[in-house]
């Protein structure tokens, strides 16, 4: 389920990039910047290329995650470690945050809980504002701790499992609170849809 939400967030963000490509950039030219659909700020070809590269990496990870999870992880890490558009672009930061969430999910499935939490923390440095992506990272943090609790219980560490469960609940509650803020901000004034 987490992967589906992560893909949904990435799909929404990447759809924006795809729409901008069609509306403002020539397929044959490589302009310094493409005109945005609404005539606002130009859209960087580097941002569009980054979004496309990330989308491809997530498709590859989809194909590999069951049979070759380590290769899926390496493919996603290439997005994190590879070239990024210059500037502090929200779209790029959101893709990085979403990719970090997916990495944390995959690593925690492999029992690499501490590494997974490092990815969550790194993702939170990208998703600085209240957003779906920030809330999703807290959700994944909860999943990591939930999986850790299952492992600790299986290993006979009831106290450690209880602490991990408590951290999971705290993270899930934080995710719910963040997503509630996102929903509230999207509603028209007065709160009714």
**Distance of alpha carbon 142 from alpha carbon 134, whole angstroms:** 13
Q: Sign of the CA dihedral 87, 92, 98, 99? A: negative
Contact 94, 13 (CB under 8 A): yes
| pLDDT at site 17 | 45
Which residues is 34 bridged to in the sheet?
A: 43
| pLDDT at site 5 | 41
CATH value of 2-186 in 1.25.40.10, 3.20.20.70, 1.10.1740.10, 2.40.30.110: 1.25.40.10
Coil/strand/helix, residue 83: coil
pTM for this predicted structure: 0.80
- Rounded to 5 degrees, what are φ and ψ at 128? -80, -30
Which residues is 43 bridged to in the sheet?
A: 34
Contact 135, 182 (CB under 8 A): yes
- Rounded to 5 degrees, what are φ and ψ at 65? -60, -30
- Angle of helix 45-64 versus helix 90-109 axis, rounded to 10: 10
Contact 34, 45 (CB under 8 A): yes
The alpha carbon of residue 71 and the mean position of all alpha carbons in its chain are separated, in whole angstroms, by: 18
Task: Tell me the pLDDT of the chain (193 aa) as tens digits.
Answer: 444 444 545 544 444 444 443 334 444 344 444 444 555 566 789 999 999 999 999 999 999 999 999 999 999 999 999 999 998 899 999 999 999 999 999 999 999 999 999 999 999 999 999 999 999 999 999 999 999 999 999 999 999 999 999 999 999 999 999 999 999 999 987 566 5
| pLDDT at site 190 | 58
């Amino acid at each position: 389920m987490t992967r589906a939400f992560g893909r949904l967030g990435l799909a929404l963000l990447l759809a924006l990039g795809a729409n901008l490509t069609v509306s403002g950039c020539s397929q044959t030219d490589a302009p310094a910047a493409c005109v945005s659909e609404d005539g606002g700020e130009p859209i960087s070809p580097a941002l569009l290329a980054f979004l496309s590269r990330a989308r491809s990496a997530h498709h590859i990870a989809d194909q590999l995650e069951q049979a070759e999870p380590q290769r899926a992880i390496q493919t996603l890490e290439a997005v994190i470690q590879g070239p990024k558009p210059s500037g502090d672009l929200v779209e790029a930061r959101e893709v990085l945050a979403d990719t970090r969430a997916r990495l944390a999910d995959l690593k925690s499935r492999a029992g690499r809980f501490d590494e997974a939490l490092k990815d969550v923390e790194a993702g939170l440095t990208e998703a600085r504002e209240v957003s779906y992506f920030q809330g999703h990272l807290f959700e994944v943090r909860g999943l990591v701790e939930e999986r850790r609790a299952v492992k600790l219980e299986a290993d006979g560490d009831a106290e450690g499992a209880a602490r991990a469960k408590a951290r999971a609940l705290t993270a899930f509650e934080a995710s719910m609170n963040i997503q509630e803020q996102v929903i509230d901000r999207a509603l028209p004034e007065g709160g009714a849809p």
